[in-house]
Amino acid sequence: MASGLRHLSFRCTTCANCCKDLRVPLTTADLGRLVEQTGQPAAEIVAWLPTDAVDLTGEPGSLVMLEQTSPRSLMTLAQRGGECRFLAADARCSVYEARPASCQLYPFDASFGPRGGLRRLRLLGGTRCEYARDGHNDPHALREADQRRWVEHREYLAQVSDWNRSQGHRSRFGHRQLGRQEFLNFLGF
């Protein structure tokens, strides 16, 4: 029997605290969806957090080597006034259909068994969420969203690994390390 099934009754009450309190890591796929929907340049959508500003315990592969004082940074969704840049005045997401995969799954943290069944479900913390307990979340939809997120994340990790390896070579041979815009160009933006 899966643990945490009671969390399937989670319902967002649009308090928007998650959009105000949390920083959202981005992948190439996330950024592509946002650029396509908004028409904004990737550089305006992205903010870079230095290593000491993020907790990526067990997942350092998302950190990008850039030309700056911090040796590695995390590509995140930019904020405006201390909240997500895409949070509208009515406390709703203005890019809902194109939102990052992490936002699509928040606040769920699920693990699935080898045959795809829900093994464990918990709600992530990090914000004061004023959710209700009268929702109806489909574990199959969660599994599909989680699988899509991991595919996108693995592809991004491979890109970051290639980039960081190249940056290391540049450094070893005395060449200038490339910066933020060059990384976005490397990703195809």
Beta strand spans in 29-163 (E) = 46-50, 64-65, 72-77, 79-80, 83-84, 108-112, 118-123
pTM confidence score: 0.92
DSSP calls for 125-167: -SS----BS-----HHHHHHHHHHHHHHHHHHHHHHHHHHHHH
What does each C-alpha distance from 35 to 112, 123, 166 come to in angstroms?
31, 29, 26
Q: Which of 160, 180, 164 is nearest to 172 (CA)?
A: 164
10-residue averages of pLDDT along the chain (189 residues):
89 94 95 98 95 72 82 92 95 96 95 91 90 95 95 97 95 92 97
Residue with tokens 């895409």: 86
Residue 70 is classified by DSSP as: S
Whole-number pLDDT of residue 189: 97
- Tokens found for residue 121: 């479900």
Whole-number pLDDT of residue 70: 64
